[in-house]
Amino acid sequence: MGGHKNQDFAPPTKCMDPPKTRLYKVWKGRNKFLCGGRLIFGPDGASVFLSTFLIGAPALTFCVKMLLRIPKLDFVYGHVVLIVGFVLTFLDLIFLFMTSARNPGIVPRNSRPPDSDSTSTSMTSMEWINSATPELKLPKTKDVFVNGYTVRVKYCDTCMLYRPPRASHCSICNNCVQRFDHHCPWVGQCIGVRNYRTFILFVSTSTILCVYVFTFSLLNLLREPCHIWTAMSRDIVSVILIVYCFISVWFVGGLTVFHLYLICTNQTTYENFRYRYDKRENPYNQGIIKNLKEIFFSKTVPSLVNFREWVIEEDDSFIESVTRKFGGDIIKTNGKIDLELGILGKDGKPLPHVLQNLDYNGIDDSLKKDKGGKVNLDPYFFPTDQEEKFGAGDSTVNDDVTDVSSHRTSTDALRR
C-alpha cells in the first residue's frame, strides 16, 4: 500500500476540477484491497492466515519428517514421497490465495435507481420497492428469459439494480456477486463466477493432501520392525498427523464430493439450499460433460469492475444525515434530490456544499420569530397537524379583519 500512495490521487488538470481517486478507495462494499486495488479480499480476509496455518503446519511437519527419514528408507521412495508432499502443499496454498485474493465477480453498483419506463414492460410483481425517491416506483421482481426458460430476478435496494440471473447480494461483503455460490469463511471471500474454479481446486487438493499425509504417516508406522503400539509410542508425530488428517478429510472430502455433484448438475450452493430445482427443470443444466467443461475448461469471466480506474469522490454526508433524521423519507423541496449528488436546484445543478451541510438541529428548540414576536411558519419544520392548526388561526384573524373593514365601510356610507 505504501508504494502506491503517490499514485492513488491524480492531480487536477484544471483549477476548478475536483481531485480524482482510485475506485477501490471509495468502493462502498466491505472489501479489503492490497497492492493498489489489484488484490481484493473479503472483510474477513484475515482468516486466510488461519487456513494457511491449518494446512501448512501439518503438511510441512510431514515433509520435514520424511526428509529426516530418507537415510533409513529407499533413496527413490523417500525422495518421491517428499517431493510429492511438498508439491501438494504448495499447490494447495496457491489455490487458497488465488481464491481469496481474486474478484469473485462483483456486479458494479448504480449511482441512481433505473428508470421506471425501462422496467414497466417486464414487470411481474405488483409490490413496489421502498425507493429513496417517492416519485419513482419499481417492481421488486421482473422476469427474464434464460435458455428458453423464464427466470425471475430481484431488485437490490443496496446496489440499485436488478440482479443478473444467478447473482445474489452477499450481506458480509455488501456486494452483488455473479453466480453467487456462498461466502466461505475459510478463504474470507465470496465464491462466485470468477473464483469458483480455484475454490474447487483448493478443496479437492486439500482432500488429496489429507489422504496423502494420512497414508504415508501410517506406512511409516507399519514399516517399523517392532509392534505397532511400540512404534506409535516412539513416533508421536506420525500419530498426531494420522488423527489430524483423519478428522480433516471428512470435512474437506465431504465438501469436495458435494461440489462435484453441484458441478455435474450445474447448481450453486445457494440454489441447492433453497431447493429451487426440485419441482422444475434447471435452465442451466447442459449435461454432465458440458457442465464440467464450463467450470474447468472455459475462460475466466472478465471482471465487470475496474477498481483501479480514476473516479471523482462524491460527498454523501448530507443524504445520510437526512436519512437518519427523517427515517428514510426525503423532504420534498422545489429542487430534486439525487442519491449521489445531493440536493439539485431547479437548473439541475448540485447546490453548494455550504448550503447542503447546514445544521438545523436548533430549529426544533427555538422557533424562528419575526420582529412582532409572532411565529414565522415554515412548512419544512412543522408537522402537518400543527401547520393546519396555525393555518386555521390565520384564516380566523383574516375573517375578523374583513368584518371590521366591512363595518367601517357601511358606517361611512350612513354618515354621508
Tell me the catalytic residues: 184
Q: Diameter of the chain by CA atoms?
A: 141
Please give the grid coordinates belonging to residue 145: 428469459
Q: Give the burial class of 353: count Cβ atoms within 10 A of its Cβ; 0-12 exposed, 13-18 middle, 19 or more buried.
A: exposed
Buried b (16+ CB within 10 A) or exposed e, 69-84: beeeeeeeebeebbee
Which helix (DSSP H) or strand (DSSP E) does residue 50 occupy?
Answer: helix 47-69
The answer to whether the CB of 319 falls within 8 A of the CB of 28 is no
Strands 32-34, 336-338: pairing kind: unpaired
Going from the C-alpha of 50 to that of each of 61, 126, 366, the distances in angstroms are 16, 47, 57
Q: Give the burial class of 170: count Cβ atoms within 10 A of its Cβ; 0-12 exposed, 13-18 middle, 19 or more buried.
A: buried
Q: Give the burial class of 123: count Cβ atoms within 10 A of its Cβ; 0-12 exposed, 13-18 middle, 19 or more buried.
A: middle
